[in-house]
Amino acid sequence: MGIFSGAGLKLSNVAVGGGKALDFKAEGDFVLEITEVKGGKTRKNDAYFEVMHKVTESTNPEQPVGSTVNLFCMIKEDLGQKNMKEILSVMSGLNPYVAQDVDKINTITDDQWIQIAELACADQKTFGGTKVCCSVSLVEIKNPKKRTHYYGRRYTPHPDTVAATNAAGEKPAAKGAKK
């Protein structure tokens, strides 16, 4: 049994993310290369999923090429599962903001999502080097307590990733995953 099997991962019924971009220092459009994917458990035994990226293209010098950004998802949190579904879809060449890809995403079962996540963490070759696009914008908080704004982000597949998956006839996540 892997990290995510008993962690309450239920991505099939979760809407796609679009969460806060805590590691970004500026607004802009970025191309990110995945350098590492990992999952684990915190000291409190809560499962997490993390994707490390290197910025390879940037429209804002405040977030320069070569800088790193991470996506950290706590599985027990609804937003963590939304963000995880978004990045796993994009890493697989599916755009969670395009209707025909959403239809494909919605056919993936919870067991398949778990297999994709486990494979991504176990075999860095599966998604290592995969490029994703990320748009980051400043979002105003309507009822601020401490902060009045945060950086929101949206992942979409990079054209190279889509071309590679279309040429292969299957999504990268399908390699090695049980059907």
Query: Where along the chain do its domains lie?
Result: 11-167
Q: Return mean pLDDT, the chain.
A: 80
CA atoms within 13 A on the CB side of 2: 19
Confidence of residue 126 (pLDDT cuts 50, 70, 90): confident
**Is the pLDDT higher at 164 or at 64?**
64
The predicted structure's pLDDT at residue 173: 43
Geometric angle at alpha carbon 157, from 50 and 127, rounded to 5°? 45
Query: CA dist 57 to 49, 51, 157, 158, Å?
Result: 24, 18, 14, 12
- Residue of 165 and 40 predicted with greater confidence: 40
Average pLDDT on 98-105 reads 91
12-70 residue pLDDT tens: 888 886 666 557 777 889 999 999 999 989 999 888 999 999 999 999 998 899 999 88
Q: Is a pLDDT exceeding 60 seen at residue 172?
A: no
Written as one string, the DSSP assignment of 20-66 is B-TT--S-EEEEEEEEEEEEEE-TT--EEEEEEEEEEEES-TTS-TT
Residue with tokens 């970025």: 30
Task: Write out the two tokens for 79.
Answer: 């937003």
Q: What is the DSSP annotation of 53-81?
A: EEEEEES-TTS-TT-EEEEEEETTSHHHH
Task: For strands 47-58 and 149-157, give the pairing.
Answer: unpaired
- The arithmetic mean of pLDDT across residues 112-126, rounded, is 86
Q: Is the pTM of this model over 0.75?
A: yes
31 CB neighbour count, 10 Å cutoff: 19
**Residue 133: beta bridge partners?**
31, 156
User: Which position has the higher pLDDT, 137 or 18?
Assistant: 137
pLDDT at 19: 63
